[in-house]
Amino acid sequence: MNRASSQGIGMTSMRTRERLVERLMDRGIRDYDVLQAIRQTPRHLFVDEALAHRAYEDTALPIGFSQTLSQPYIVARMTELLLAGGPLRKVLEVGTGSGYQTAILAQLVEHVYSVERIKPLQQKAKRRLSQLKLYNAIFKNSDGGMGWSREGPFDGILSAAAPATIPPELLQQLAPGGRLLMPVGESGRQELVMVIRNGDCFEQEIIEPVNFVPFLTGTVR
């Protein structure tokens, strides 16, 4: 590829990224740092090349193993709500998937601990994060239902897969004042739920209807 055409691609991708950011603002995303992280993150690197031209649409995209890269709007919304209580030191992410949400979080919090049950997906995600020089995320191939007790408690917990009910281990690993964001419920009837820990009391708020892949048990190697 010559220089002019590679610059051309750069320009197009900058324009399409900016359009995505505008769309997220139209949909009510306000947090400047979140919008800036989305603007700076090359989402096309998180999907197969054949889908790269759709990477800046506000839509979920397939990543193999019947899983999806979450829709940018929902990534932005969950991240914005997670951050709304103040700066975060340690965040647990359940469901690394492509690593896109991990990359957004890594730019906004001190440390990301990301668990994923499907090992090959996580290996690709790890490579993408180091390609982007985001070194403050660490990964574990495990069932996120158990959290990551050795590294907890966490100031924030975010899940990209929907269980029928919130796993109690995750609530236990939430630090005082910490926030958990998670889709809950069966396919077709899921809601995004935010839990804020206040001492031993867990205040729960329903944010909006969502559509995530199911939270499954066990690991795939």
- Taking a C-beta distance cutoff of 8 angstroms, is the pair 30, 82 a contact? no
Residue 7 or 172 having the CB closest to ligand SAH: 172
Q: Does 216 interact with ligand SAH (rule: CB under 6 A)?
A: yes
* End-to-end CA separation in angstroms for the chain: 37
Residue 153 or 214 having the CB closest to ligand SAH: 214
Q: Which of 137, 86, 84 is nearest to 111 (CA)?
A: 137
Q: Does 112 interact with ligand SAH (rule: CB under 6 A)?
A: no
Q: Choose the catalytic residue: 5, 6, 66, 70.
A: 70
Q: Does 157 interact with ligand SAH (rule: CB under 6 A)?
A: no
Query: Would you state the structure tokens that stand for residue 179, as one six-digit string?
Result: 């926030």
In the residue annotation, 142 being an active-site residue is answered as no
Closest distance of CB 164 from ligand SAH, Å: 12
Q: Does 152 interact with ligand SAH (rule: CB under 6 A)?
A: no
- 90-94/111-116 β-pairing: parallel
**Region 53-82 residues binding ligand SAH, contact defined as CB under 6 A:** 63, 67-70
Q: Does 43 interact with ligand SAH (rule: CB under 6 A)?
A: no
Q: Does 183 interact with ligand SAH (rule: CB under 6 A)?
A: no
SS (H, E, C) the chain: CCHHHHHHHHHHHHHHHHHHHHHHHHCCCCCHHHHHHHHHCCHHHHCCHHHHHHCCCCCCEEEECCEEECCHHHHHHHHHHHHCCCCCCEEEEECCCCCHHHHHHHCCCCEEEEEECEHHHHHHHHHHHHHCCCCCEEEEECCHHHCCCCCCCEEEEEECEECCCCCHHHHHCEEEEEEEEEEECCCCCEEEEEEEEECCEEEEEEEEEECCEECCCCCEC
Residue 97 or 156 having the CB closest to ligand SAH: 97
Region binding ligand SAH by CB under 6 A among candidate stretches 25-33, 35-43, 141-149, 196-204:
141-149
| Contact pick of 31, 80, 116, 155 for ligand SAH (by CB under 6 A) | 116
Number of residues that bind ligand SAH (CB under 6 A): 25
Per-residue binding string, ligand SAH, 160-179, x by CB under 6 A, is xx------------------
Residue 35 or 74 having the CB closest to ligand SAH: 74
Enumerate binding residues for ligand SAH (CB under 6 A). Answer: 63, 67-70, 94-95, 97-98, 100-101, 115-118, 121, 143-145, 160-161, 213, 215-217
